Structure 1
Amino acid sequence: MASIEPRQSRRNGKPVKVYDVRFRDPDGRQRKRTFGKKGEADRFASTVEADKLRGQYVDHSDRTTVAEYARTWAAARPHRASTAERVSSQIEVHIAGTRLGGRRLADVRPSEVQAWATDRARVLAPSTLRAQVRLLRSIYSSAVLDRLVASSPVVRVQLPSDDRDRVVPLTVEQVQALTDAMPARTRTMVLTQAGLGLRIGELLALRVQDVDFLRRTARVEFQIAPRTKERTEPKTPRSRRTVPLPQVVADALAKHIATYPPGADGSLFTTGIGTVYGREHYGATFTAAVKRAGLPAGTTSHDLRHHYASVLLAAGESVVAVAERLGHENATLVLKTYGHLMPDSEDRTRRAVDEAWCAITVPSLQSVAR
């Protein structure tokens, strides 16, 4: 139990009476808080014991700032190297580089978090801002578990609406025009990405041993890391997947292999000197081809994934199947991104209701109407 001990002290050269509250924290360490009034000491002693019983004890002596704790939190996460670098950059720029970063972790109020978010909205896109708020919320959730704060101040944060333009996928004709505009050595790369729905890193890492021409499947096992240009594990566990190999892609790959033999490690797409394409190199080639093909400005290789998803949805594939083909964790992102592309939704709705009611006779329906 907390104990209160009065003692003499000095303030501005004059003797004053103060009260030391001594207690043990949940980890058994001896703690002390000093108050100038007996009533304040009594209230704190009662509160600290109640907080320990409720599991809501907070170390009020901790001076850790938001930025300091954010760095510690990030260092303890089991992040991939690329993710760790991205999170570290977000913390340094958007937390440590702001007024919020220098605030003591336990002193931050919800109004300060709102002010921080409003300030960041001036320099971040709505979707990026939402990701930054999620990061701060995760940091504070961990701080609550570490008993450094009683509750998270990252609550009810008002954010700008995220009214992103709907995806307008490339047509087959546009993809063909893009393929024709690419240098001969990279034409099959466009068709492969459009026909398998691969991410750019997955495309660059594809090996001949990943393609099973007999079973007509392609296995996504690796991706080329953006900075190191080395093969690493895919983005997420779900990203490691087997994708059906369409005949048009199989034929293109067979011709490509005959013309440009795979690299020593089996890499299907290599430069003239036998190295795997870097993202910057291939990206520059792709951008130049986009312009030559007359495609919309800003078209990137990621638009070939949009094309792939749109083709599957137009053919009646379920959103769950499309999510699996794309390597998404669930179908939610597919619905949010491509829901407007699902064909004949109005006709399907009418047909579904009509077919459900087909067993009801017309006279019965007329009697209901009367």
Structure 2
Amino acid sequence: MGNVAKRPDGKYRARWRDLSGKEHAKHFTKKRDADAWLAIVEGDKLRGQYIDPTDRTTVAQYARRWAAARPHNPRTVRRVDSLIRTHIEGTSIGTRRLVQVLPSDAQAWVTDRSQGLSPSTLRLLVSLVRSIYTSAQHDRLVGSSPFAARLTMPESQQKRVVPLTVEQVHDLAAAMPPRNRAMVLTQAGLGLRIGELLALRLADVDFAGKVVRVETQIAPGERTRTAPKTAWSERTVPLPAPVAEALTAHVAAFPPPADGTVFTTRFGQPYRHDYYGTRIFQAAVAASGLPDGTTPHDLRHHYASVLLHAGESVVAVAERLGHKNAKLVLSTYGHLMPDSEERTRKAVENAWRKGSADHTRTDSRPERRSRRSRRFVRR
């Protein structure tokens, strides 16, 4: 238990020990204020809500501690490190104590960050800081999170995907160097992420069974294989005949090295994301006359659009793309569903016809009952 003692200068000192046994003190002019403070502290300790008011841990320091304890994969570690270094350390909240940041400070920080970040990246950053503060609450370093309050964020207007046509895909492949042509056809015909494409091994391709197993990826900035992006990314994809023919011709012209990597540089090394995506791919985009901003990811959009136009369900498309559920497919490609406008018209028309018919029948019944009742009265 704590105690209150009067000091020689006439003030009252409230003394208590925290949950670890460390002693703390706070001074008051009036004894009743010291007693009230001590009662609050002891009550918080009993309820498990005690917060050390003297803790000087900064937001940036705790963010580093939080990140070090997470079981993140190497790619996520790099992304989180970059966010903390660029957008927390050295900013208006990074150098402040955890307990000092107010909801108004959080909003000011979000507004400042929005000046240089896209809405999607800003939301990712805010989600990260919210997780950090939630952990700080669990560690009893703060009583509440300033990021729990509703924050005003810039509107995010996602552009509608305009998928490449089959002709554009073939034009792009034709503009590629011979060593890279099959890469375009393979990604467009299997819906692979660029990291999954670069990691493809000959052993992953079952020509007899007409399937391709997606089991590894190569992360940005790396040349070594790692586990797929998520547990749902590991999947088996049907192998269409045109892709099988392109792979067969590629392997014959450019035999894989000992580890079986299908697509390699002339030195037998896997491609890096940046080299393939910005040097080789963008040069072919310009040469083929495709829209500016076309990236390898657009080949994945092409794959999804082909499946949807063929009548595949959004659940099946999500599985082929390696997504956890169909929500992302609907939000990204919903406008590409075949005959969606006609289905919308028919849905409303059919519902209103049925509703009008039911309304007519309902309105006529009371009149019939009324006539019967009048006949009954006359009798």
Q: For 2:137 and 2:306, how far apart are their aligned partners in 1? A: 46
Q: Give the RMSD, CA atoms, in angstroms.
A: 2.3
Contact 2:221 2:274 in 1 (8 A): no
Q: What displacement does 1:269 show?
A: 0.9
Q: 1:147 aligns with which of 140, 143, 147?
A: 140
Q: For 1:163 and 1:364, how far apart are their aligned partners in 2? A: 41
Q: For 1:279 and 1:364, how far apart are their aligned partners in 2? A: 61
- Counterpart in the other structure of 1:120: 113
- Counterpart in the other structure of 1:340: 335
Q: 2:189 aligns with which of 179, 185, 195?
A: 195
- Counterpart in the other structure of 2:219: 225
Letter matched to residue 169 of structure 1: P
Residues 34 and 177 from structure 1, CA distance in 2 versus in 1: closer, same or farther, beyond 3 angstroms? Answer: same
Residues 65 and 365 from structure 1, CA distance in 2 versus in 1: closer, same or farther, beyond 3 angstroms? Answer: closer
Residues 259 and 95 from structure 1, CA distance in 2 versus in 1: closer, same or farther, beyond 3 angstroms? Answer: same
Q: Secondary structure at the match of 1:165?
A: coil
Q: Secondary structure at the match of 2:132?
A: helix
Q: For 1:363 and 1:93, how far apart are their aligned partners in 2? A: 63
Contact 2:203 2:260 in 1 (8 A): yes
Letter matched to residue 4 of structure 2: I
- Counterpart in the other structure of 2:5: 5
Q: What displacement does 1:349 show?
A: 4.5
- Counterpart in the other structure of 1:89: 82
Q: 1:208 aligns with which of 202, 210, 213?
A: 202
- Counterpart in the other structure of 1:32: 24
Q: Where do 5+ consecutive residues of structure 1 fail to align?
A: 9-15
| TM-score, with length taken from structure 2 | 0.89
Q: Is the counterpart of residue 235 in structure 1 residue 229 in structure 2?
A: yes
Q: What displacement does 1:131 show?
A: 0.8
- 1:91-139 CA-to-partner distances (Å, cap 9, x unmatched) read 1111112121111111110000000000111111111111111111111
Contact 2:211 2:238 in 1 (8 A): yes
Q: For 2:170 and 2:200, how far apart are their aligned partners in 1? A: 21
Q: 2:12 aligns with which of 19, 30, 34?
A: 19
Q: Rg larger in 1 or in 2?
A: 2
Mapping of residues 194-343 of structure 1, within 5 Å: 194-283=188-277, 284-343=279-338
- Counterpart in the other structure of 2:103: 110
Q: For 2:253 and 2:213, how far apart are their aligned partners in 1? A: 22
Q: What displacement does 1:367 show?
A: 2.5
| TM-score, with length taken from structure 1 | 0.91
- Counterpart in the other structure of 2:367: none
Q: What displacement does 1:271 show?
A: 1.9
Q: For 1:364 and 1:156, how far apart are their aligned partners in 2? A: 45
Letter matched to residue 85 of structure 1: R
- Counterpart in the other structure of 1:186: 180
Q: Where do 5+ consecutive residues of structure 2 fail to align?
A: 365-379
Contact 1:17 1:36 in 2 (8 A): no
Equivalent residue pairs, number: 361
Q: 1:156 aligns with which of 150, 158, 162?
A: 150
- 1:269-323 CA-to-partner distances (Å, cap 9, x unmatched) read 1222222222233221110100111000011101111111111122222222222
